Structure 1
Amino acid sequence: MTSHRILELYSGIGGMHCAWNESGLEGEVILAVDINNVANEVYKYNFPNTTLLNRNIQSVTPDYIEKLNVNTILMSPPCQPFTRNGKFLDENDPRTNSFLYLIELFVPLDNIEYILMENVKGFECSTVRNIFINKLKDCKFDYQEFLLCPSSFGVPNSRLRYYCIARRNISEWPFQRKEDIVSLSHYIINNKSLKKIEDILELNVPENYLVSDKLLKRANILDICYKHSRRSCCFTKAYTHYVEGTGSVYTNATPEEVEECFKLAKTFDDKSNDFVDTIKQLKLRFFTPNEVLSLMSFSRNYKFPENITTKQCYRLLGNSVNVKVITELLKILFE
C-alpha cells in the first residue's frame, strides 16, 4: 500500500487529520497550516508531532510545497463568502483570496495527485466553485462533488455540506463517477442504524450548561433532543449565544413530559417569570463541547486544552468538519 504525504490547509482543530487517522489509510500529515491562533493551540495539543504553520495560506509558495514532497491536499476553505450571514459575496469576498490563490497552484504543483475539499452548502452555486472545478478539469483531475449529511452515515446530527474529491495521474478509479453532484439520496441508511443521543452523553454535566432564564423566554423555538433521539441540529459557532438555528438542546425529560410542560407554560405570557419557571422544570441544557465533539465524530481521546474557554470550544467546533463523512470520502478517494 502506498504511503501518502499530506498537506492539511485551513487545518482548524484538525478534523481532517482525525479523519485520516480513522480511515486506516497509509500516510502522514507532513504539514498543517492555519492562521487562527486558538485553533492552532488545540491542533498542537492533539497532534504534537505534526509540523504546524501559523500563517496565511498565501504565504505558502509553490516552491515550499514542492519541497515537502506531498501528494495529497486536504482542506476546508472559509465558508462565509457562500452563506447568508456572509451576504453571499462569493468571489468578491476577500476571504476567498487564499483559496483562489491555491487554485492557481494546481498547475505548477503537478505532484499533487489527491484533493479533498469541504465547504458549506451554497458553495456549489458559486462562481468560486466554477473556477475550482474548471481548474481541476484543466489539470486533468477526475473529480466528484457531493452534498452529504452525517445522518446518512449513522451519526445523529445534521450538517449538510459540500464536498469534492479529485485525483489525477492514477490508474482507473473504481468509484463510479456521476456527472451531477451526488446528494443525500444515494447514501441514506436505515434510520435504525443511526446512533442515539444517549450514546454521546456525558455523566454529571454541571449546572452551568443549563439554558439561561433569558434564553428560556424563547423556549418555543428551541430544538429539543431526548435520550432516544436519533437526530440533532447543526451546531454553529454562535451556539449558546443565540437559540435560533445554532444547535439543539437536551433534556432528560420524556417527549410527553415536555409536551405537558409547554402546554402549561403557554397559559402564561412567554416573557413572564411564570413561563420561565415552568419551562425550567425540564432542566433544558446545552450539549457540552465534548458531546458536540462526539456528534461531529471526533475520537474519544480528542481533547481541548484546559485553558480553552467553553465559548472558544463552541466557536472552533462551529467551524470544523464532521470526521465520519470525511473518513468515508477518503476511502472512496483512495480506492
Structure 2
Amino acid sequence: MTGGGEGGASEPPPGPSKRARVDDDATPRHLRAVEFYCGVGGLHYSLLRARPDAKVVAAFDINPNGNDVYEHNFGVRPSQKNIYGLPVASFDRLDAGLWLLSPPCQPFTRQGHRKDKDDGRSQSFLRLLRDVVPQLRSPPTHVLVENVVGFETSDTRADAIAVFRRLGYDTREFMLTPRMFGVPYSRPRYFLLAKNGYRAGRRASYQPSSRATPRRSLTRGTGLGGEVGATVRRLNRTPPITPYGSRDVNEGSADVFREYAVAERDVKIGLGAVDVVCRTSYKCNCFTKSYGKYVKGTGSMVTDKLVDKDSWDGTVASGGAHEGAEGGGVRLRYFTEGEIARMHSFPSDFSFPAGVTRQQRYALLGNSLSVACVAPLIDHLLNDPSVEGERPPPRREVVGPEDA
C-alpha cells in the first residue's frame, strides 16, 4: 500500500496536508467526522479527497497493525478501545455530524459462513445503530456505511435501514466498483448513505431506496443519479493497468520479479483460478487479505507478456529470468504493496512504517477500500445545494487518473 517503490517502508510520513486537521474548532458539524473500523485510513483519504476542509475528530479500530499505519500517515493514532463497550456520552462529546463506517465483512462472506448478525463481529455495529444513535443528544446528520456484496441481503442491513427510517433519516444504497470510476480494478462493494432528512426544516434531496429485492435493484444501478451518476458516466472508460499499477519503473524490473515471484507449485495448484495480467490489461481482480499467502481467488498476478491461459501449463520462469531464458516459462509475480495501494486510489505519499511485514501489508490492503468509490459518495452525501449549510464548493474532479 505504498505509493513509491516496492514497499515504501523507508518513506517519511506525509506532510500536514495529509494529516488529520486538529486546529479548526469552527468546522461545521456535518464536516466533523468519526471513522469507525478505520483500518489504514481509506475512509480518511476519501473524506480529504471529497472535502479537504473536513475534520476527523476521532478514529476507532482494534487492529494494532492498522493503527500503526494510520498513525504513520496521519500523525494521529486511532483509539483501540472496543466501541461495543463505550458509553453513549463518549460519542456525544465528539460532536460529529458525519459518521463513516466500514464494519467487519466476514459475517457476510462465504468464508465467514454468513452468520450475519449472529456473528460476534457484527455486534459493535449493531450496538451503534440500535443503542447508541437513538440515545444521542446530537446524533449524526450524515452516515456512510461500506461493506461487501452480500451485505445488501443481510438481516444486519435490514436492521440498519429500519433504525434509520425510524429516526427520520433518508437512505440511499449503491453497488459500486472502481471500474465504474475509470480505475482498472474490480472490487464491487455495497454502500449505504443515510442523511437526516429534517435538518434545518427541509428534507434531503434524495428519497429512501427500499426495494423488495435489494440485490436486483442495486446491481441494475439503482441510486446512480445526481453527482455520483454523472461521475460514473464521465469516468466509465477504463484505461490499462500501467498508469495505476506501475508508476515506478523499478516495479517492472527483474529484481522486483525476483523478490515478488510466485512459486510455480502454487500456480499449478490453483492454475484454473489464477488471474494473470500485464501492463496493457484493462482489469485486475479484487485483492483480499490472503493475497501473498494463497494464490487461488486472492487477487491477480503480474506477468511481462500476454498469457494464453488455455494453453499455459503453469510453468513459471525462475527468479527474474526474461522470456526465452533457460527454463522458459512465464515471468510471474505478485503485485507490490505500492501497486495495490494505487489500485485503491490511495495518494502517492501513502506508506508503511518499517515494522509492518509484507504479509501484514497485504492483509491490511485486502481489508481496505477504494477511494475512487468512496470519495464521490461522500461528495454526494455532503454537498447538497438544496440544504442550507451544505452549499458545495466549486465543482472539481473528485477522482481522476492522476490521483489513482
Confirm or deny a common fold (TM above 0.5): yes
1:242 positional shift: 1.5
Residue 328 (structure 2) pairs with residue 300 (structure 1): no
Instruction: Tell me if 1:172 matches 2:203.
Output: yes
Inter-partner Cα distance in structure 1 for 2:355 and 2:194: 38
Residue in structure 1 matched with residue 110 of structure 2 by the alignment? 84
Aligned to 2:165, the other structure's residue is in SS state helix
Conserved in 2, the CA contact under 8 Å of 1:152 and 1:184?
no
| Residue aligned with 1:106, SS | helix
Amino acid at match of 1:329: L
Letter of the structure 2 residue corresponding to residue 111 of structure 1:
P
- Return closer, same or farther for 1:39/1:21 CA change in 2, 3 Å cut-off: same
Q: Distance in 1 between matches of 2:236 and 2:278?
A: 16
User: Within 5 Å, which residues of 2 pair with 1:271-282?
Assistant: 275-276=315-316, 281-282=329-330
Deviates more, 1:89-98 or 1:218-227: 218-227
Q: Specify the alignment match of 1:332 in structure 2.
A: 380
Judge conservation of contact 1:149–1:184 (CA < 8 Å) in 2.
no
Are residues 1:65 and 2:102 paired? no
Q: Secondary structure at the match of 1:204?
A: helix
Q: Is 1:6 equivalent to 2:52 in the alignment?
A: no
Q: Which amino acid aligns with 1:326?
A: V
Single out whichever of 243-252 and 50-59 deviates more from structure 2: 50-59
Alpha-carbon distance between aligned partners in 1 of 2:45 and 2:336, rounded to the nearest angstrom: 20
For residue 239 of structure 2, what is the aligned residue in structure 1?
Answer: 195
SS at match of 1:8: strand
State which of 226, 250, 254 in structure 2 corresponds to 1:204. 250
Shift of the 108–165 alpha-carbon distance from structure 1 to 2, 3 Å rule, reads same
For 1:112 and 1:9, how far apart are their aligned partners in 2?
Answer: 13
Residue 42 of structure 2 aligns with an amino acid whose one-letter code is G
2:364 corresponds in structure 1 to: 316
* Residue pairs, 1:133-282, within 5 angstroms: 133-168=161-196, 169-170=198-199, 171-175=202-206, 178-180=209-211, 182-183=218-219, 185=221, 186=224, 189=233, 193-200=237-244, 201=246, 202-205=248-251, 206=256, 207-218=258-269, 219-253=271-305, 255=306, 258-259=307-308, 263=311, 265-266=312-313, 275-276=315-316, 281-282=329-330
> Could you report, residue by residue, the CA deviation over 1:166-196 in whole angstroms, capped at 9, with x for unpaired residues?
1113333334664445446445647872132
Q: Secondary structure at the match of 1:87?
A: coil
Q: How many residues align?
A: 322
SS at the partner of 1:299? coil
* TM-score w.r.t. length of structure 2: 0.75
Moved more, 189-198 or 320-329: 189-198
CA contact (8 A) 1:222 1:244 kept: yes
Measure, in 2, the Cα distance between the counterparts of 1:232 and 1:327.
21
**Which of 125, 128, 133 matches 2:153?**
125
TM-score (norm. length: structure 1): 0.89
Give the match's secondary structure for 1:53: coil
Between 1 and 2, higher relative CO (CA 8 Å, sep ≥ 6) is seen in: 2
Name the SS of the counterpart of 2:134 in structure 1: coil
Coordinate RMSD, CA, aligned: 2.2
Structure 1: segments with no counterpart, 5+ residues: none
Of 157-166 and 198-207, deviating more is: 198-207
Secondary structure at the counterpart of residue 79 of structure 2 = strand
